[in-house]
Structure 1
Amino acid sequence: MSDNLASQFLLREDVTFLNHGSFGACPRPVFETYQAFQLELEREPVDFLGRRLTDTMREPRHVLAAEVGSGPEDLVGVINATTGLNIVAHSLPLQAGDEILTTDHEYSALEKTWAQVCRRTGAEVKVVKVPLPLEEESQFVDTILAGMTERTRVLFLSHITSPTALLFPLEAVIAEARRRNIWTVIDGAHTPGHIDLDLDALGADFYAGNCHKWMMAPKGSAFLHARPEVQGLLTPLVISHGWTEQSKQPGAKGAFGNSPFIDEIEVQGTRDPAAWLTIPSALAFRRENDWRSVARRCSELAEETLERVVERTGLAPLGSSAFRAPQMVAIPIPPCDAPAIHKTLFEKHRIEIPVFKWQDRHIARLSVQGYNVRGQMDSLIAALDELVGLSDQAASAATA
């Protein structure tokens, strides 16, 4: 992997950045496009926001839709995946006794979202435990199907999980949920730009994804996708000029000529749309730099680093390679004071990487992106060995 790629990013040179998964990192030329849009807005805000915004927002939507396998009328820009998923969670007509079926691998912010929805509606969250290590699709599918009952109204799943970096095989459970008239809501925060997407083929009712992570657009760029048949269920979190009283009538148009789904969610009052407008630039950057090849090398480096740590510790990965996110891996490490290790890695070793306890496991979640090189993985392994005794763990396991 060429060091030249690092020069195309704005990351600090004194920090080994191994945490692309949390907030992403925007390449320099994409960020410059972002700033150019902001400057254009400030030079004539009324023209930009008052006259041209609806038309300007359309190109990124069409370009992104082609990238993720969606019709452009079925996808709308939001500032992050959490916002998109909150729109769905607060719109669905749930009531007391209804169940939201989910797993024990979900993002904590969305766990809180569904908890609040349940407090308001009287519905209940039902959590199933996905067997680990995840080595066969049937382990996941059978667990989800066994959790479905006549009370299940929503199936909420991550596509790529945040704490465990697992890639869930969703197709079969989404199809079965459709057969049972269960709404499927998918958290795709880590997915766009990370794996190939075909949202129409996947068939989820609702899918939210971030563009600021693996697609490398600026922060504030994400989307909500909804099948045409369920778009009428949605109510925006913010009611503004895009809303009309006739929006739920068959064939209705939104206030600005798009579908009500787009106009009601896209128009949120005064805001800076520059991050969303930069999506075509981010996708162009990926093409110009042959990002498929870059991603392949990153995936190989992530897998190699995981294997090197596993060899030292004897701790098994959480799943086989078929069910691990390509560029983001959850590395099991020996029991430790995870917050203290995280702090020391940054303050002493200048390594930025999440370290945390998840259930009864301790994890260092490694992200590998185009600006990373193998020497940084060497530094991580050496630091972890110093702080948590990787080789000591393997020796203990051998004598146990």
Structure 2
Amino acid sequence: MGYSLQTLWHEKARYSAGVGAVAFSAVLMALQFGLLLGLFTITSIPLDHTDPRIVWIGSKGVEAIDLGQPIPISYLGRVGEHSGVLPPEPYIANFANFQKPDGGTDLCFLLGHFGNAGIPDMLTSEQRTALTEPFAIVMDESDMKRMGMTAVNQTAKINGKEVRLVGSVKGLKSLAAPWVICSHYTASELMGALLPPDHTKYLLAKCDTPERAADLAAHLKAEYSDMAVYTSGEFSTSTRTYWLLRTKAGIAIGYAALLGLLVGGAVTVQTLYAATIASAKEYATLFALGIPRWRVYVTVLFQAFWIGIFGIALAYPVVQLLAAGARAAGTQVILRWEIMTGTALITMGMSVFAGLFALRSVRGIEPISLLR
């Protein structure tokens, strides 16, 4: 092990390409999957910014917040009376047609809350009060330009009915259709005949603790098979997973990361192979002196191991720096420990594989080659 480190240090120019290739692969994989996670957190923002103690009740088989079908408000009675659980509140989450003030149309996504359970936490108390007015809406400031809204109190139309912007927030950026926050009454009026009478999209039951929410969700799942029941965390995960698989973005990003891994692996293999061939006379001398072949094999593998270690060590600060730059530009990159650990393990596996491949050249070295 010490000999392999000394070799790497004295021949650093020879092995630097391998270290760089490993670092490149690790950086690409970590950033790709960090961007993927950051991208799909946007799809679950309405869930992630409401109280985590909420139990969401929706139509049977619903997998994402934007896919709910109308359910009878009479489902309220199914929750019944449970200690530590407030009466459920209806909640509307539905696509709608947004007519811009200056002409043109676009899709938006209504988030119509009845009480406090479904209100995103970034709203101020003044905005919550303003939303009690009929046909008042709030949206994220990053979506205002896209929807032709330039100032508070400006009006537009949703599904042909006039609405008024009473405020904007930060942190409610959308992936597709902009989120539009309003009251349940406003959302019901805007939906009109598209939502059957005495129906809503979700029922939200707020519990006093997350543990109580989990217990209530488990109870309702076991009791009623004709409706979907989630805790906020479960529904958030389900929404992200659905969007990830439906859009195939995860597969595309996975292929890009795999390509980086293959490129890095190929360069590392070539670096180790060339370095081993260049050291053929030294290895032949060792064999002639009676040094067992397995010790040389171990040396080559340790060289591959240390190339992986140095490559990962180089990649880590680069990943953090690039992620910080992406966040400064408004792009979310989530570098969870699972991503960093998985990237390190995969990269080390690639390096060890490169070392195993390089052993092919060692097997062909014979002491007699010194006489040529």
TM class by shorter chain equals under 0.3
Based on CA coordinates, which of the two structures has the bigger radius of gyration? 2
Larger RCO (CA under 8 A, 6+ residues apart): 2
Name the structure with the higher helix share: 2
TM-score, with length taken from structure 2: 0.27
TM-score, with length taken from structure 1: 0.25
